[in-house]
A and B are shown apart, each in its own frame.
Chain A
Amino acid sequence: EAGVAQSPRYKIIEKRQSVAFWCNPISGHATLYWYQQILGQGPKLLIQFQNNGVVDDSQLPKDRFSAERLKGVDSTLKIQPAKLEDSAVYLCASSPSRQGNTEAFFGQGTRLTVV
């Protein structure tokens, strides 16, 4: 079974530029998450989708971050404009259901460096 695919693996941009990350979840997984992992910290949820609807985006900085999951499969996360503090690893995860006892499967992440 293929895992969660993310691209690109690495990205370096200047502050105020825009960037987009792509995620393809495990086939059949209805729930998709984007997490931000700053160096030395645990992953922090940015947004959670159930199919193509948003379940939780309370921690998403909506003035600069946006995410979509058209057709309930692939998802993109965009940052515009980027700030230095956005340097982090962006992890996508998927899960077969929204239940709290369901394992989340993680991709390898995209490491973003903002200079």
Chain B
Amino acid sequence: AQSVTQPDIHITVSEGASLELRCNYSYGATPYLFWYVQSPGQGLQLLLKYFSGDTLVQGIKGFEAEFKRSQSSFNLRKPSVHWSDAAEYFCAVGAWQAGTALIFGKGTTLSVSS
């Protein structure tokens, strides 16, 4: 069965510092991987996605993520965090079978300190 683990419940980063949010997945074949962001009172917005090909994926708002098959990981990174990045971040995995909905991790809350 597919599953997603986000080991960090809450992370605080200083504004301007770099960020890495961890995501580990469990899936028997090549997964489809997503990162979503949720600001308070808002729905989920897609940051980036990985389906195949280049393992380093660029997304919106300056985010990137790297797929590492050997580690079953898909960590999200940003070189310099802005105060507006404070939000909750969700990693999700999809399967190649048609009709399989996304499975989400429990999320990581990012706080940005000045």
Q: Residues of B contacting A40 with CB < 8 Å? A: 106-107
Question: Does B28 sit at the interface, judged by CB under 8 A?
Answer: no
Check A100–B43 contact: CB distance below 8 A. no
Q: What per-residue 1/0 map shows which CB atoms of B79-114 lie under 8 Å from chain A?
A: 000000000001010111111111111110000000
Check B95–A42 contact: CB distance below 8 A. no
Check A101–B107 contact: CB distance below 8 A. no
Interface residues of B in 17-60 (CB under 8 A from A): 32, 34, 36, 41-46, 49, 51
Check A106–B98 contact: CB distance below 8 A. no
Number of interface residues of A (CB under 8 A): 27
Check B98–A98 contact: CB distance below 8 A. yes
Q: Residues of A contacting B49 with CB < 8 Å? A: 101, 103
Q: Residues of A contacting B51 with CB < 8 Å? A: 101
A105–B45 alpha-carbon span in the complex (Å)? 7
Check B107–A41 contact: CB distance below 8 A. yes
Q: Residues of A contacting B36 with CB < 8 Å? A: 106
CB distance from B107 to the nearest CB of A (A): 5
Since A106-B36, A106-B45, A108-B43 are in contact, a sample of 13 more A-B pairs with Cβ atoms closer than 8 Å, ordered by chain A residue number, is: A42-B104, A42-B105, A42-B106, A48-B101, A56-B99, A91-B43, A93-B44, A100-B32, A100-B95, A100-B96, A103-B49, A108-B41, A109-B43
Q: Which residues of B contact A (CB under 8 A)?
A: 4, 32, 34, 36, 41-46, 49, 51, 90, 92, 94-107
